[in-house]
Chain A
Amino acid sequence: EADIYQTPRYLVIGTGKKITLECSQTMGHDKMYWYQQDPGMELHLIHYSYGVNSTEKGDLSSESTVSRIRTEHFPLTLESARPSHTSQYLCASTGLSSGNTIYFGEGSWLTVV
């Protein structure tokens, strides 16, 4: 059972608003990831972190930013949301305690109107 939590699960906001999607894990994993999934499409990696104060952009370009101040916490922020940001955002983590298998959170469904 994966102990990785995302909030909010569902969010509808207006264009231009700033939003932060929260992700926390209690497994002590050093590696954390954000994937983006449009309906019926593949998941694409947008950000990853291999430890505190370490963040990198993934294969899919994204206007979002991330931070990793604490091991267990990896929030994703959109400074000014647009309708093109409407998607599902999935947080994942892995580490030695889970044999390097990757666990996903339940996802955050974002709709920008």
Chain B
Amino acid sequence: QKEVEQDPGPLSVPEGAIVSLNCTYSNSAFQYFMWYRQYSRKGPELLMYTYSSGNKEDGRFTAQVDKSSKYISLFIRDSQPSDSATYLCAMEAGNTGKLIFGQGTTLQVKP
């Protein structure tokens, strides 16, 4: 069983839709949670970084962490075609930089 599970999609939505991306995990020691966006043939770009449970908002993006359910989410409001990319969740137990990644969800936002 993988430590981090993420539905690979693909997920296709119309422009302006609210997108919900999710990951589940099994290691209760994870405390640091990240969402990265990766365009084709590019490196991952950090979108959101949260510590422990709770919500964090940055513009159109909201990250949620529910440690009791071992479940994290990324919401994208008013989605744009430029949001079309692969979204990776990542997490770690200590602040070591040794990240465990989900498989990534491919998102397509249609104009």
Contact = CB atoms under 8 A, between A and B. Distances in A.
Interface of A: 6, 31, 33, 35, 40-45, 48, 58-59, 90, 92, 94, 100-107, 109
Interface of B: 2, 4, 8, 34, 36, 41-46, 49, 88, 90, 95-99, 101-104
Q: Secondary structure at chain A's binding surface: helix, strand, loop or mixed?
A: strand
A4 to B, nearest CB: 8
B63 to A, nearest CB: 13
B97 A33 contact: yes
A43 B98 contact: no
B101 to A, nearest CB: 4
Contacts of A106: 42-43
A54 to B, nearest CB: 13
13 contacts: A35-B99, A40-B8, A42-B101, A42-B104, A90-B43, A90-B44, A100-B95, A104-B44, A104-B45, A105-B43, A106-B42, A106-B43, A107-B42
Q: Dominant SS at the B interface?
A: loop
B93 to A, nearest CB: 13
Contacts of A40: 8, 103-104
Contacts of B44: 43, 90, 104
Contacts of A105: 43
Nearest to B95: A100
Given A106-B42, A107-B41, A45 B99 contact: yes
Contact of A45 (B2, B43, B98): B98
A94 B90 CA distance: 15
9 tightest A-B CB contacts, nearest first? A104-B43, A43-B101, A42-B101, A106-B43, A104-B44, A107-B43, A94-B97, A31-B97, A42-B103
A101 B46 contact: yes
A102 B4 CA distance: 18
A48 B102 contact: no
